[in-house]
Amino acid sequence: MKTVHFVFIVTASCLLAACSQPDPVQEPVRAVKLLTVAPAALSDASEYAGEVRARIESQPGFRVGGKLVERLVEPGQRVRKGQLLARLDPQDFALATQAVQAQVQAASTQRDLAAAELRRFADLRRQGFVSDAEIERRQAALDAAEATLRQAVANQGVQGNQAAYTRLVADADGLVTAVMAEVGQVLSTGAPVLRLAHDGPREVWIAVPEDRAPRVKPGMPAQARLWAGLAPASTGVMPAQVREVGASADRVTRTFTVKVTLAADMAVPLGATAYVQLDPAVAEGLRPAAGVRLPTSALMRHGENTSVWVFDPNGQTVQPRAVQVITADGNEVVVAGLEPGLEVVAAGVHVLSPGQTVTRFAAPVMQ
């Protein structure tokens, strides 16, 4: 019996030990990277990258169709007004010109014959051998012959123009920026052969987002600078002015095309990358805004709210603080709702919890 009681007591002790709760595991003290909140100076000025283009760009093409037999210009070549750019095969047009010339000769012969007959019948009428009706018929025949001659002459002029249209000449001084047809290609009427940037004012085409497009108006002053630092002025800044704002947004980018005209005396290379700054008066004097700059890694999302972890130096703990995002700038955001001097967690926000004890992260010293 003593043995049975002993076994029972041991078994009961084991069962009670198994049912007891283990001691809770202490959460480790995490090292966090902190940054001190400071006010940010913001500006309403906006700078956009764009491409330098000519105000007037044309795509010359032949006014008749045919086979391209010669192209006399290449991309990057300067041309003068009236300079020959390309030619079509003129053989068919030469034959058509000969045909209409023959028609003119035939119509002229018929007109002369009708006129001679009218003169002979007029003499017979004075002698009383023919009636007035016959004279009227001869006069109608002459009128018809003269109309046929005028038609043939007009056709000859049209065909002469058609033959001249086989030669493509420049209608203005400019620079060839691209070619779209090669020798041997059969072109339809009006098909572009090349792209010609006319000499004259230069523009920068930029894309403005939908939220900022209503603020941009034609005539607004602006400033432009070239990415490569090729601006004629020593400062690299060129005066400019907004000339045109797109009436509708691009279907893909949902941005509005804004054309900014550079000063007339500024000679800048076509196709160069330029940066346009709108509202330059605001850019000259930065005015502070009610916000602070934080890296995007400092933000966390809770439903519809955005918050950051604020460090309490007294208790060495962190607590969430709701903030309002004002705008984004690259890898940084500007937020409102934080007082200058606070310390917030800059990284690792997804592994923290309210009231958690943390310690400052210290970068190891390289030996």
Pair 52, 204: CB distance under 8 Å: yes
Model pLDDT, residue 27:
63
Strand-pairing partners, residue 197, are 57, 175
- Residue type for 82, please? G
Exposure string (b/e) for 353-363, b if CB count within 10 Å is 16 or more? eeebebeeeee
The crossing angle, in degrees rounded to 10, of helices 91-127 and 132-164 is 160
Structure-token pair, residue 273: 């990358």
Average pLDDT for runs of 10 along the chain of length 367: 55 55 63 84 71 92 94 93 94 90 93 92 87 89 93 91 92 93 93 93 91 87 77 65 91 91 77 81 44 85 85 89 79 83 87 87 57
Q: What is the DSSP string of 111-159?
A: HHHHHHHHHHHHHHHHHTSS-HHHHHHHHHHHHHHHHHHHHHHHHHHHH
Q: What is the pTM of this model?
A: 0.58
Pair 37, 346: CB distance under 8 Å: no
Model pLDDT, residue 265:
63
Model pLDDT, residue 285:
39
- How many angstroms separate the CA atoms of 280 and 193, rounded? 41
Model pLDDT, residue 358:
87
- How many angstroms separate the CA atoms of 243 and 246, rounded? 10
Model pLDDT, residue 243:
92
